[in-house]
Amino acid sequence: MLHYFLPSQFVKRVLDITPRSLKEKGIKGVITDLDNTLVEWDRSSATPELIEWLENMKQEGIKVMIVSNNNKKRVQSFAEPLGIPFIFEARKPLTSAFQKALSMMQLSKDEVVVIGDQLLTDVFGGNRLGLNTILVVPVAQTDGLWTRLNRKMERKILKMMRKKGMIYWEE
């Protein structure tokens, strides 16, 4: 069961993921979480560095789509100015939003990676569908109520995975 929570890769920041590194793995599309993955959960717009990262992905032919559990207003107000397609109220870790994103991007499972900051939503949901997953360190040290609860469970899962030698990185 623990293998469902094990990401394919771990990086400190989404900005550390390059189009080249994705292409080398045959990745043509990114499904990314929004809050505490791309920007802080309480930041309304993209940083200049994130805008540049998104532009690099686009220039290199990597499709990017936001899949968030947050509400329409939050996700739409962030994604639309950037021209990024999105799914809101995704109900991750359920797989339906991931399947919808694959369909919208017209890509197969092996051509897409899920990037997120939470094991219990992003990694678990992506892994259940057989997608590649990349866990990033949360951008902010604060979270909303539900995420704080998830983080407590995540710490327990990470501790178990460390004990079993399944992970080697430090947060």
Q: Greater confidence, 122 or 153?
A: 122
Q: Which two tokens stand for residue 58?
A: 């686009």
For residue 41, the model assigns a pLDDT of: 85
Put residue 32 in one of left, alpha, beta given phi > 0 → left and psi -120 to 50 → alpha.
beta
What domains can you pick out in the chain, each with its CATH number?
2-163 (3.40.50.1000)
SS3 144: coil
Phi, psi of 49 (to 5 degrees): -65, -40
Phi, psi of 48 (to 5 degrees): -55, -35
The DSSP 8-state label assigned to residue 123 in this structure reads I
Residue 74: pLDDT band with limits 50, 70, 90: very high
User: Residue 70 pLDDT > 60, yes or no?
Assistant: yes
Q: pTM of the prediction?
A: 0.89
For residue 137, the model assigns a pLDDT of: 92
Instruction: Tell me the average pLDDT of the chain.
Output: 92
Q: Greater confidence, 118 or 161?
A: 118
